[in-house]
Amino acid sequence: MAAITGVVITLNEADNIEACLASLQRVCNELIVVDSGSRDDTVARAERFGARVIHQAYLGDGPQKNVGPRTSRHRWVLSLDADERLTDDAVAAIQALDLENGNHDAYALRRRNFIGSRWVRHCGWYPDYCVRLYDRDRTGFSDSRQHASVQARDPKRLDADLEHYSFANLGELFGKASGRFSNRAAKIMYLKGKRANALSPFVHGANAFVRKYFFQRGFLGGLDGVSVALSAAVNAYLKYAKLLEFQRDAKVRDAEDFDQVW
């Protein structure tokens, strides 16, 4: 099996980092943590685990995820978020790969997204294929500073899952949707010159709910399906409502720090 470097970006991930690194250690020969100024003991825990820590102010999702691979000892990189874990099947699938002689520049895993300990199988949350293992000499993350992905030309989907503990509970699901997720999206849209009208929040909010609940079969997911669809609607509604507020209210706009989007 070819040598692999495991890379994680962190900010205040003390509750997650050890489990994430333990997961990576099952298939990786080197561990790198790129930390953007944690105020908890993320760094100390990562170092105790044997990871090499790189201190880097946050550059946005894609640029930050490309920092670690540039300094890795190995071509093949396995990039996980701190709240992601490899399943036993994923470990076995990766160990079975002939990375040195294969034709693919990257490999994708299905991602199981969780609320608490509950795996959400609907609302477009599964199968959520994500490229996580890739050859850093041939590809890497896009320069997008939000929701970046590996720009592989010939990725292969593995028949295995990783687990993503997205939200601790329903309160966190709605709190992130209504808070920093919608704030960041509204700022990005405003800086890009995108504009909203009085109908935009309602139209986008309703569209998000219909897409998640009906077209992506959230109705099969019981309460969690309804909650995911509603949180998507809240997020969509608020990001356009906040964008409209930035357009209309100079006091609100001037009080916002648009240099702190990331």
Percent of the chain with pLDDT over 90: 96
Q: Taking 80 as the threshold, does the pLDDT of residue 1 lie above it?
A: no
Averaged pLDDT for residues 78-105: 97
φ/ψ (deg, to 5) at 110: -70, 145
The pLDDT of residue 260 is 80
The pLDDT of residue 32 is 98
The pLDDT of residue 97 is 97
- Res. 46 pLDDT band, cuts 50 70 90: very high
Q: Which residues of 99-127 are buried (b: 16+ CB within 10 A; e: fewer)?
A: beeeebbbbbbbbbbbbeeeebebbbbbe
d(CA 211, CA 42): 37
The pLDDT of residue 213 is 98
The pLDDT of residue 101 is 93
The pLDDT of residue 173 is 98
- Res. 4 pLDDT band, cuts 50 70 90: very high
- Res. 146 pLDDT band, cuts 50 70 90: confident
CA distances to 32, 83, 136, 174, 196 from 165, in Å: 21, 5, 26, 15, 33
CA distances to 84, 111, 186, 227 from 164, in Å: 4, 6, 25, 18
The pLDDT of residue 261 is 75
- Res. 239 pLDDT band, cuts 50 70 90: very high
Query: What predicted TM-score, i.e. pTM, was given to this entire model?
Result: 0.93
Q: Taking 90 as the threshold, does the pLDDT of residue 191 lie above it?
A: yes
Alpha carbon dihedral 63, 68, 74, 78, in 10-degree steps, equals -80
The pLDDT of residue 145 is 86
- Res. 152 pLDDT band, cuts 50 70 90: very high
Averaged pLDDT for residues 206-219: 98
